[in-house]
Structure 1
Amino acid sequence: MSSTKDLLQTPVGQRPSSPPMSPHHDSARKGWTDKLEKSESDKRAWRWAAVGGYALSVMLAGGLIAVSNRPPPKPLIARINTDGAAQVLGYATPNYTPGQAEIRYFLKHWVELVRTVPLDPVVVKSAWNEAYNFMTPASANKLNAEARVPGSTMSKVGQETVTTQVTSVVPVSADSYQVRWIETSFTDQGQVKERSTWTSTFTVKQSPPDRKIELINPLGLFITDFNWQRDIGSTP
């Protein structure tokens, strides 16, 4: 080879014009070059990944700030007329005064929540949790005490079912109402066990609901006290 020839012909003490080349020199140099290029490519990829991650973090932070600054949704009050047409009354505000129809429905719904006994205890618990959204702490404590009384609706869970039919809701003062309903108890075999009539007096107040429950109780109606009893002469 030319490099070997140059080496042999070069006088002693004088370097050859080019270093001797082995057959593997080119391949080693190419491999090293490829490694350097791959290293640079990896660095560029990581730099772009870092830039992309930073940009994504900025976008997410901006989105969270925008969501946190957005005002909460306002419940819309609507009323269904006797002919079935919906009438939008506007957004619920502290100045909105519920009519008698809203209060009657409110009390009817609450009685059905706490006096109806489905067979599934999970459904019963869900109904009571909903009912708490319409009660003051004092009346909620009273309801819990009623649940521990022998023969209460809670004591029947898993043993029998009870349906509730509200028959009347009558105002007795500016903030008090008398509610009457019929309860029908069924055995676990689906046979009628007894029917009874109940009467209760409710005291109701209106106050702005907490943000956590304003979508559940947009009217801000709360039961402050109640007193129910089974009517004398109810048909077993």
Structure 2
Amino acid sequence: MAKQIIFKSENQMAETPFSPLQQWDRITGAAIDEAKTWRRVAIIAIASFLASLGVLIWAYSLPKKIPVIITLSELGEAKYIGDASKYSYTGITVPEVAIHSALKTFIINTHTIPLDVEVLRQNLENCYAYLTSTTATKFTTRLKAESPFNLINVVRQKVLIESLLNLTKNSYQIDYIIETTRPNRTYGEKKKMRAIFTVKMYEPPADDIIMNPLGIYITDFDFTEVK
């Protein structure tokens, strides 16, 4: 059997794992694979960013109203419990007993002179939660004229509610007695008073929602002595 003889030219290189051509192929192939990997990573990162941006835009477009839960006692006292989902002030009808309770509390906090100055300050601050900007200015003017803080340790003053009457759909009349006691006297001086209120319902801002969760606002008021 004749042997097949293969001749190689002296310029032909032997194929080995270390040939420059094979090394170049391996280097360029690895670079191409690495570039593909980074492209995938970049695409995933961009997609994640766009998804996060979409969620952020969606969240920003949600309604800004704060949902809340409010309980109402049998005496009409409203108490703020906290936030709750799917709740708003739209369509809420405030019962008359709650309005009556708010107005009585306002009168008591306005005229009571306690022994502690901090209690008086807190009482008056609570009054502002039921006032609009116009009536708040009127109330401040009244406080400056009467100077209730100067009466601390001079007199004690308490309020006795006598009657409450609905004048119209949004106006109320409350008759009450202010009893003033001085340290050197065993009896108190009594003064009969009458208050007229005009009330309107608004959604309360964050500053008022704890003290006035039902949004009962006094748009006008007047205190007069009944002779």
TM-score, normalising length from structure 1? 0.59
Q: Which of residues 97, 101, 104 in structure 2 aligns to 1:101?
A: 97
- After TM superposition, the runs of 4+ consecutive aligned structure 1 residues lying more than 6 A away are none
Equivalent of 1:192 in 184, 187, 191 = 187
State which of 120, 144, 147 in structure 1 corresponds to 2:143: 147
Q: Cα–Cα, structure 1 residues 154 and 138, in superposed 2: closer, same or farther, change >3 Å?
A: farther
**1:106 to partner: Cα distance:** 0.9
Q: 1:228 to 1:93 in 2, by over 3 A?
A: same
Query: After superposition, what is the alpha-carbon deviation per residue over 1:198-219, rounded to whole angstroms, capped at 9, x for unaligned?
Result: 0011111100001232232111
- Change in CA separation of 1:78 and 1:148 when aligned onto 2, cut-off 3 Å: closer
User: Is the contact between residue 75 and residue 101 of structure 2 (CA under 8 Å) also seen in structure 1?
Assistant: no
2:116: which partner in 1?
A: 120
CA deviations on 1:186-234 (whole Å, 9 max, x unpaired) are: 11346323011100111111000012322321110011111111111xx
In the other structure, the counterpart of 1:176 is 171
SS in 2 for 1:203: strand
- 1:178 alignment partner, SS class: strand
Asked whether the 8 Å contact 1:94–1:207 carries over to 2, the reply is no
CA contact (8 A) 1:92 1:218 kept: no
Distance apart, 1:103 and its partner CA: 1.0
TM-score by length of 2: 0.61
For structure 2, list consecutive stretches of 5 or more residues without a partner in the other structure: 1-61, 77-83
Match of 1:111 among 92, 107, 110: 107
The Cα of 1:110 is off from its aligned counterpart by 0.7
Measured after TM superposition, the shift of residue 77 of structure 1 is 3.0
SS at the partner of 2:68? coil
Distance in 1 (alpha carbons) for counterparts of 2:135 and 2:73: 28
Give the deviation of 1:167 after TM superposition.
Answer: 1.2
Q: Report if aligned partners of 1:180, 1:199 keep a CA contact under 8 Å in 2.
A: yes
Q: What 5-or-longer segments of structure 1 have no aligned partner?
A: 1-68, 83-89
2:117/2:149 contact within 8 Å kept: no
**Number of paired residues?**
156
Q: RMSD of the alignment, in Å?
A: 2.7
